[in-house]
A and B are shown apart, each in its own frame.
Chain A
Amino acid sequence: MRIPILKLNNYLLISIQTELDDQTAIQFQEDLLDEIYKTESTGVVIDLTSVEIIDSFIAKVLGDVVTMSGLMGAKVVLTGIQPAVAITLIDLGINMQDVPTALDLEQGLIKLHQELGV
């Protein structure tokens, strides 16, 4: 299974709508980095509104992809994390403090606009 990555001007938009298994998550990590490289995108929004569970593995993959994209020069914002997901992440002991987040896709795009000044 592949997660679709949409291009909008110099941003990439991803809405994760499927149950994330390990393989899909790793594949997504590679696909996103390739896409950033190919499109020279400077900003990325990953919307997690439909994601009902983030365990330690998925959290690591998401945290890593934010760092990896940053190394390439693209800023990633995670949006739409559900209340239950936020609670379980903290229970797990994962605080994702260095990961930029926003309430929803719209706020995520505003955040990118502000920080990248585009």
Chain B
Amino acid sequence: MMNPQSCVKIQKEWDIVGARQLGRELAKEIGFGTVDQARIATAISELARNIYLYANHGEIRYEIIQVPEHKAGLCLIAEDEGPGISDISQVMKDGYTTSGGLGAGLPGVKRLMDEFEIHTEVERGTRIRTIKWLR
């Protein structure tokens, strides 16, 4: 069961901070420990920065997942209408960067979270859906 929750628009650099702060608050509310809160906040920071750097604007949506008597988690959806990614396998490689960064972004997000899906179309945009489950 998914409950639509919140959304942060990424338009300026400071929105990266706002997005990860909200993510940390939600993670805390759901009951994640401090390490997972930091993992989630860091993943959001990477996703939001990618939007800001490559697409200029986009949004991050947060959904709290509650499966009754089963498990809970936080789902993040990062969506933009930016240039898209022409070679996904390349951006998922550690150390690949076009921005002069460390190239840790997307492969890092995948390791920080539990589930990770990416859909991208050149000149149409990118949508990344990633989930962290409460253990």
Contacts and interface: CB of A to CB of B under 8 A. Distances in A.
B42 A92 contact: yes
B35 A92 contact: no
A93 interface: yes
A74 B103 CA distance: 28
A21 B65 CA distance: 29
Question: Chain B contact residues: over half helix, strand or loop, or mixed?
Answer: helix
B91 interface: no
Interface string B85-116: 00000000011000001111101100110000
Interface residues of A, number: 22
B132 to A, nearest CB: 12
B38 A21 contact: no
A92 B14 CA distance: 22
B38 A84 contact: yes
B21 interface: yes
Interface string B47-91: 001000000000000000000000000000000000000000000
Contact of B111 (A21, A55, A92): A92
